[in-house]
């Protein structure tokens, strides 16, 4: 078990470009979450998958944001036409079934800087 992996760890892009982040959850976890965190703030919920189904989306997830989990394993978060306000740490977390199901395990995050 290698934990939750996120790639890339850092991304610097120019305003208007598209970026994509990938998350590989813990292998037996069927639930996957995306959060955004800015400096000095707590993580803010973006979206949630159970297996391949996207079951919940925050109002923070504008139409420039799209997330997928096509085979119920890894997930991608794409931001189109990036804006400077998108600069943040994008955190992925996963959660499984059974006795450990209450706990979200987070990845180290993908830090986005939009110039």
Return residues touching other proteins (CB under 8 A). Answer: 4, 31, 33, 35, 40-45, 48, 50, 55-56, 91, 101-109
What residues form DSSP beta bridges with 94? 32, 105
Q: How far is the CB of 83 from other proteins (least distance, A)?
A: 23
Nearer to other proteins, 45 or 74 (CB): 45
| Those residues with Cβ within 8 angstroms of residue 90's Cβ, 6 or more apart along the chain or in another chain | 6, 21, 34, 35, 36, 37, 46, 77, 109, 110, 111, 112
Nearer to other proteins, 57 or 76 (CB): 57
Nearer to other proteins, 30 or 80 (CB): 30
Q: How far is the CB of 101 from other proteins (least distance, A)?
A: 7
Nearer to other proteins, 47 or 82 (CB): 47
Q: How far is the CB of 21 from other proteins (least distance, A)?
A: 14
| Those residues with Cβ within 8 angstroms of residue 42's Cβ, 6 or more apart along the chain or in another chain | none
Peptide bond into 101 cis (omega under 30): no
């Amino acid at each position: 078990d290698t934990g939750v992996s996120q790639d890339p760890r850092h991304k610097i892009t120019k305003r208007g470009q598209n970026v994509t982040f990938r998350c590989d959850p813990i292998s037996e976890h069927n639930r996957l979450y995306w959060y955004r965190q800015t400096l000095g703030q707590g993580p803010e919920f973006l979206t949630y998958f159970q297996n391949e189904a996207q079951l919940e989306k925050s109002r923070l997830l504008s139409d420039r944001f799209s997330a997928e989990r096509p085979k119920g394993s890894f997930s991608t978060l794409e931001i189109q036409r990036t804006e400077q306000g998108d600069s943040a740490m994008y955190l992925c977390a996963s959660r499984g079934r059974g006795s450990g199901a209450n706990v979200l395990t987070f990845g180290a995050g993908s830090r986005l800087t939009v110039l």
